[in-house]
Copies of this chain bind each other. A is one copy, B any other.
Amino acid sequence: MQNALIEAQRIFDVAPFIADLGCKLEKLESGICHASIELTEKHQQQDGFVHAGVQATLADHCAGTAAVTLIDDHQMVLTAEFKINLLRAAKGERLLCKSAVLKAGRVLTVAESEVFAEDENKKQRLVAKATVTLAVMDKPKVEGQ
């Protein structure tokens, strides 16, 4: 778990798309990850709401990080598939995602992500819910890549 913490933080730091979106790791425990995005105009679709793709990216990445807390040092995870329901048009100051592992398996881990939009009064509203299936695999050996 100590190593997983370092690995999870590393993923947030070195993944260019995550850095570009402004995703910030908020909390990390065994099987749990919270992350957030400070919303700007850049995250919007054509009508001023947060783009579904932003919510999906946060939900997927946060679920993957929750899965990483439960794997061995020589392993990695890759998203095999996910499904997301956009429950309400999302608007606000901040997007917060809470992911938890539902089932950690030898080859597949399933995690769920709840995405909340937070307004200027820190009031949170559930705007999306995702289920993410991750493939657990051995990291490629550096020489073998």
Q: In chain B, what residue has the closest Cβ to A114?
A: B102
Q: Which residues of B contact A129 (CB under 8 A)?
A: 102, 110, 112, 131
A89 to B77, CA, bound (A): 12
Chain A interface, number of residues (Cβ within 8 angstroms): 50
A109 to B52, CA, bound (A): 16
A56 to B54, CA, bound (A): 9
Q: In chain B, what residue has the closest Cβ to A23?
A: B53
Is there an interface contact between B18 and A51, defined as CB atoms closer than 8 Å? yes
Separation in Å of the A87 CB from the closest CB of chain B? Answer: 4
A-B contact pairs, 19 of them (CB 8 A): A15-B46, A16-B42, A16-B44, A17-B43, A47-B76, A51-B61, A52-B57, A52-B60, A78-B89, A81-B83, A81-B85, A81-B86, A81-B110, A83-B83, A85-B133, A88-B103, A108-B108, A108-B135, A112-B129
